[in-house]
Amino acid sequence: MRCCRLIFFNVSDAKLLNFLITFATKNINIMKLSTLTALTMAAAIAIGCRSNNGNNMESANEPAVISYDDSTETPNNDIYLNQVESSASIANDLARFLAGKADDKYAALQTSDHYKTYSTTAQQTWDDLRTRTLNPIANWCKTNIPDFYNDTTTLIYPFGGPDMIFAMTFFPNKKDYVLMGLEKPGELCEPDQLTADERQEYLDSLTYSMRYVNKFGFFIAAHMAENFRNKNLDGILHLVLYALAMNDCIITNHRNIYIDDHGTVQDNDGNAKKHPYGWELAFRKPGDPRTRTVKYIRMDLSDVMMKGKMEFPFFLNSIKDKTCYMKSASYLMQSVEFGIVRKLVLDQFDKILQDESGFAYGRLIKDYDVKLYGTYTKPLKVFSNFKQEDLREALTKCDPLPFKIGYASQHNESVLMACTRKDPATAAATSAATSKSSANNSGIVYKVQFLVSWKILPNNSPEFDGIDGVEYYAEGTNYKYTAGSFKNEEDCKKMLQTVRSKGYKDAFIVKFNNGKRIK
């Protein structure tokens, strides 16, 4: 006998409605009850709750107790059809199908020659990636950055797209993962509803979309945009399902979501595309009793799109303990156009793990204790504007990493920065020590400000050609560069003319008193 016994005190109408929907859904999905059974139970609860005091639950003084026995109902009486099968079951079956693993629902489809070849190739590719990259990463992390590896809080992965593979490798114990990107979230599909040609195209597209991450350890946004034109491989969801199944995870729930104006994650009925939106998967791993989640949120993190919008800042602020991870992030955190999200992360995160394409090393050392690992000489040619000479010099004393990931892997290098926030006193001292402003110039001095950067530029930077007395001072998350140092403003005007003649038409005079700017 399957019996439900529920006791209620003072439940509001809104809470009751939410409970009825949730109860019916969960009993279909989890307890394996038929739709008729679950809805009958929900109706009984509603009637019992309302009849308890004749009016409504708000005034009930006695508990409403409901018991239900469905032992006489057989599966043959189920009224639900394939289209109302739980999304959790659909997601889990699809994940196993994509990972090339045996699945009862798709057993007949898995006997085809094409699928057998796909399954064998998928497993061989995964085994190779695990042996060559994933296992060395995990073993290295356990020894060198255990505080990151063992952390169980929330992981925020800006610009991460579908990269659940490396998120779970570096952070296998996280309770919640949040992936973010511009790519489409994607919808569940059922392979048995596709034609044989559509299934073949679907699986071949997935294999093709994984080629770069399997070889170099990162996805390319332009490639994903092309791959997701397939009507069935239509977004990030399919790649994350593949990653979870390859890690032996069991999908226990799937829902579409959006972030409302208050930063709260809500169910998405399809009308929330003006907000950051995506999906959430709940999953379990063998040997771990926890139910964990991974969310994918589609949103543009550039200043143009974030200005005046508070959903994401509120969402981040609602997560008390969190770690930021960035890999192959196109140096966006070092770009002028991403100042808002850069400040959000630097203000709110006490722990950051990244490669060289995240925050500039020179910016991080102001507020974080940064442990460096790996080797670095220069960025890829396409990112040549983001060369970090200070990082190259700092890494000369470091040993190479025993694995290759990220952009630098293409010239046999890899970099990791494990960053933990300093206490405020240490951060202030470091800021004073690393600032190259004229703190030693006593009294009032005048300088010409001509350049703002998100990172510390090398002394031989071409931006300084023909300009004497270049220094910088830190303000907020920026480094502001000045030329010259004069005791009176008239002398400084000559330097202003010189700097403007070098192309800095917006240069202007700034005033300092004992090394501090006066505005």
Q: Looking at domain 435-518, what is its CATH homologous superfamily? A: Sporulation related repeat (3.30.70.1070)
For 253-301, the pLDDT digits (tens) are: 999 999 999 999 999 987 776 899 999 999 999 999 999 999 999 999 9
| 45 has pLDDT over 70 | no
**For residues 446 and 485, what is the distance between their CA atoms, to the nearest angstrom?**
6
d(CA 20, CA 39): 8
pLDDT score recorded for residue 370? 97
Residue 16 has pLDDT above 50, yes or no: no
pLDDT digits (tens, 9 = 90+) for 184-217: 999 999 999 999 999 999 999 888 877 766 566 6
Average pLDDT, stretch 332-346?
93
Which residues, listed in sequence order, are joined to residue 371 by a DSSP beta bridge?
418
Quickly state the pLDDT bin for 443 (edges 50, 70, 90).
confident
Q: Is the pLDDT of residue 92 over 50?
A: yes
User: Does the pTM exceed 0.75?
Assistant: no
State which H helix or E strand residue 266 sits in.
strand 265-267
- Of 6 and 488, more confident: 488
Average pLDDT (470-493) is 87
Q: Does position 62 have pLDDT exceeding 50, yes or no?
A: no
Write down the mean pLDDT value for the chain.
81
**Average pLDDT, stretch 43-66?**
38
Domain ranges of the chain: 3-84, 88-426, 435-518
Of the listed ranges 91-100, 227-236, 360-369, the least confidently predicted one is 227-236
Cβ partners under 8 Å of residue 474, min gap 6: 366, 431, 434, 435, 480
In terms of C-beta distances under 8 Å and separation of at least 24 residues, what long-range contacts does 424-431 make, across chains too?
427/366, 427/367, 430/365, 430/366, 431/366, 431/367, 431/474
In angstroms, the CA 388 to CA 379 distance is 8
In this prediction, residue 216 carries a pLDDT of 61
Q: Is the pLDDT of residue 64 over 60?
A: no
Query: How many CB atoms lie under 10 A from the CB of residue 191?
Result: 20
Separation CA 236–CA 238 (nearest Å): 6
- What is the second-level CATH architecture of the domain 88-426? 3-Layer(aba) Sandwich (3.40)
The residue among 319 and 65 whose pLDDT is bigger is: 319
pLDDT greater at residue 19 or residue 222 = 222
Residue 76: the pLDDT is 39
pLDDT of residue 436: 54
Q: Where are the alpha helices (DSSP H) in 368-461?
A: 389-395, 424-434
* Tokens matching residue 394: 């700092």
Phi/psi for 69 (5° steps) reads -120, 120
pLDDT score of 14 more than 80: no
